[in-house]
Structure 1
Amino acid sequence: MQGRALALIALIAGTPALAQQAPAGLAAVNDYPTDARAEYVFSCMAVNGQTSDALERCSCSVDTVASILPYDRYVTAETVLRMRQTSGERAALFRGTQPTTEAVADLRRAQAEAEMLCF
């Protein structure tokens, strides 16, 4: 518990030195929650077929994305993509700005890597 608290403080504070003091196992743990992984796999299978082969490939894909993109960055990119589908002034904030474009580009690059490795 103390290691997690230290890592959380390091993340919030943006202090790499403090994050290095976290237990080695904690750094290796993937930070994508199960429900996020499941949602990704279900969406992937909807596009690629409801087969056991698609399940295996989509699971590989989410693992690859998770190894490349930190979860908070993934959430940001997913939020931007969902907000871009809406209309109005609020949605305009998610179109064409540098931070939102970069977040989506990072996700797209991770997904392209996953596509090459898993499909």
Structure 2
Amino acid sequence: MISRLRILLAASLVFAGAWPSYAANDYPTAALADYVFGCMKSNGETNEMLERCSCSIDVISSIVPYEDYVAAETFKRMSLTTGEAAGLFRESAPAKAKSTELKRAQAEADMRCF
């Protein structure tokens, strides 16, 4: 099943290159693939989810610049750690702002794609 998923993901990236996706051009291919792979792991490894997850990252990338996306994901991952220092990643103004920006983009992506 995993090899089939990898083939589907690779094929989607090849086909995505055939028709330009202007929204996702600023995001590296690896970041797009990582998002789609994680989304499919969470929602099901089907062709339908491949389409929906690809749509989702396209919407997010059209709203959030890549640098802000990386910052938001970093804050999110670091906030899951334990200890006092992790509070900085949850409580600081930059962390809250980036988190809010990404959550809004994800909500928009959910409405459009799911």
TM range (shorter): 0.7 to 0.9
Q: Shift of the alpha carbon at 1:47? A: 1.2
Find the counterpart in structure 1 of residue 65 from structure 2: 70
> What aligned pairs does 1:107-118 form with structure 2 within 5 A after superposition?
107-118=102-113
Find the counterpart in structure 2 of residue 47 from structure 1: 42
Structure 2 portions without partners, runs of 5+:
1-21
The answer to whether the aligner puts 1:86 opposite 2:76 as a matched pair is no
SS of alignment partner, residue 90 of structure 2: coil
Residue 110 and residue 89 in structure 1: after superposition, are their counterparts in 2 closer, same or farther (change >3 A)? same
Q: Shift of the alpha carbon at 1:29? A: 7.1
Residue 63 and residue 29 in structure 1: after superposition, are their counterparts in 2 closer, same or farther (change >3 A)? closer
Q: Which of the pair has the greater relative contact order for Cα pairs under 8 Å at 6+ separation?
A: 2
How far, CA to CA, are the matches of 1:73 and 1:29 in structure 2?
A: 14
Q: Shift of the alpha carbon at 1:98? A: 1.2
Select the structure of larger CA radius of gyration.
1
Q: Give the letter aligned to residue 111 of structure 1.
A: Q
Percent sequence identity over matched residues?
Answer: 57
Structure 1 portions without partners, runs of 5+:
1-26
Q: Normalising to structure 1: TM-score of the pair?
A: 0.74
Counting matched residue pairs gives: 93
Match of residue 31, structure 2, among 32, 36, 40: 36
Q: Normalising to structure 2: TM-score of the pair?
A: 0.77
Aligned-residue Cα RMSD (Å) equals: 1.6
